[in-house]
Amino acid sequence: MDSVSFILFGATGDLAKRKIFPALYNLFLDEKLTAPFSIIGLSRREWTDEAFQLHVKESLSHFSRRFRKEENRLAEFLQAFRYCALDVTSSADYEPVLNLIESREEELGIQGNRLFYLSVAPEFFDIIASNIKERGIGTSKGWKRLVIEKPFGHDLASAQQLNEKLSTAFREDEIYRIDHYLGKQMVQNLESLKLANPIFQSLWNNQNISSVQITASETVGVEERANYYDRAGAIRDMFQNHMLQLLMMTAMQFPEQIGPEYIRHEKRKIMKSLRSLTKENVAFQVIRGQYDSGEINGKQVAAYKEEPGVESSSTNDTFIAARLWIDDPSWRGVPFYIRTGKRMEKKSTKIVIEFKNTLHDLQEGHNEKATPNLLIIEISPNESVSLQLNLKNPLNYGQAEPVTLHFSAPGKDVPEAYESLIYDALRGDPTFFAHWKEVELSWNWVQPVLEAFAENILPLHSYPAGSMGPKAAHQLLEEDGFKWW
């Protein structure tokens, strides 16, 4: 891998502290950050290099699982950090940034490879990209890459505008749009689960699968983010990006070859085959909810409308459930159910593949009920794969009962999503980043839902905090003869 300058916009922010510094530290410890490397922090505050290094150290002491274990290498790591104050909207401020990048490259012998990481509020994405171009920061002997956080736009039109602006400064193959769900180990494992296991390869279609369910439930509420969340809602915060990415990763067919362009091509095909909604029929396929007060883990919590920063009249969605159809030969007729929400009973992200239950018919009159075979992929907080089968239990007079074959991935020391994503960006592998076309097609599907929500065309169901969402979300599946597993 090449030696790089890692240029971090928003270096004094929360994400840098919690995720980016610990990820870089682990990569450094694992020799995955090729020496020499330069890390340049940029933010509005007037800090010295020493103050910044101390900040990085403190961040690691709180958020790095390897901080205490490998403290002896810390000083070496911190030496790579420099800081420069920057008002991202002031063109003149970029000159000292360029000087600093170049002087460090010269000092360390780095060949001009530059990774720009935007960990800033989305309204600054385009101005930073254009200043990188205008001020010549993106012009060097080496490569340049732009890593960008979500949200990528607020709706279809704003996402398109943003992309247009970015593309004047960076080519598509230089833009790495982070969706941290794509960095989760079990999501990355979906590919191997299908590709490396012929039994699943042959089963992965509407001949054998009756439905697919994807759940991401959270126990946290809006936290201190009302300002953002009350305008975003679950639909923009989770559904348009993470949930649709999980759908693509689950449903995509086997690429002709392994490689980012093949995989992304297959994902795009799924999005193109998604049956689109109209504002008028959203209500038949989508349930929106908002949490009321309730109890989670023995603790009473407030209703969404009572959260600090939220208007008591807010109609914002904190829960979404939807039924989606992929109109292609492999998936025609298989409903994909997706749900996500805040203040639910437990924190859990999982995918459940329900297989067709032909046995059910065969056994008619035998008074023996076979449960459907299920393949359950737990993404977090536990990482596991289980397969539910029916077997006879000799202790129960040979009655068939569901049993589960279970594999749990090692929980400790598994690289975090940010670690593997930053590593991929550094080596130029875009497989687990969202391509613009995926983002655009996702917004395209979501757009009528946004409009139907804005016009209050469908009811806003309330659900008690600590539950698994509104009743209507259960009815959505019952209509089709299914239930949430």
Binding residues for NADP(+): 10-17, 44, 87-88, 150
Strands 38-43 vs 144-148: parallel, antiparallel or unpaired? unpaired
Which is the catalytic residue, given 62, 154, 242, 406?
242
Q: Which of residues 369-398 bind ligand BG6 (CB under 6 A)?
A: 380
The residues pairing with 324 across neighbouring beta strands, listed in sequence order, are: 336
- Which residue lies nearer to ligand BG6 by CB, 147 or 277? 147
Residues making up the binding site: 10-17, 44, 87-88, 150, 180, 184, 218, 237, 342, 347
218 binds ligand BG6 (CB under 6 A): yes
- Binding to ligand BG6 by CB under 6 A, coded x per residue (else -) over 261-300, reads ----------------------------------------
**Torsion 459-462-463-468 (CA) sign:** positive
**How does 226-263 read in b/e, with b if 16+ C-beta sit within 10 Å?**
beebbebbbbbbbbbbbbbbbbbbbbbbebeeeebeeb
CB of 108: closest distance to ligand BG6 in angstroms? 34
- Which residue lies nearer to ligand BG6 by CB, 174 or 237? 237
185 binds ligand BG6 (CB under 6 A): no
- Binding to ligand BG6 by CB under 6 A, coded x per residue (else -) over 328-357, reads ---------------------x--------
298: Cβ contacts below 8 Å, ≥ 6 apart? none
Nearest residue to ligand BG6, scored by beta-carbon proximity = 237
CB of 380: closest distance to ligand BG6 in angstroms? 6
- Which residue lies nearer to ligand BG6 by CB, 114 or 150? 150
Q: Which of residues 237-256 bind ligand BG6 (CB under 6 A)?
A: 237
Distance of alpha carbon 130 from alpha carbon 429, whole angstroms: 24
53 binds ligand BG6 (CB under 6 A): no
| Helix, strand, coil fractions of the chain, as percent rounded to 5 | 40, 25, 35
Q: Is 70 exposed, middle or buried (0-12, 13-18, 19+ CB in 10 A)?
A: middle
Per the annotation, the verdict on 435 as an active-site residue is no
Task: List strands edge to edge, sheet with 38-43.
Answer: 81-85, 38-43, 5-9, 114-118, 144-148, 175-177
**Torsion 197-404-382-376 (CA) sign:** positive
Residues making up the binding site for substrate: 180, 184, 218, 237, 342, 347
**Torsion 304-307-312-318 (CA) sign:** negative
- Which residue lies nearer to ligand BG6 by CB, 158 or 380? 380
Q: Which residues bind ligand BG6 (CB under 6 A)?
A: 218, 237, 349, 380
- Supply the residues annotated as catalytic: 242
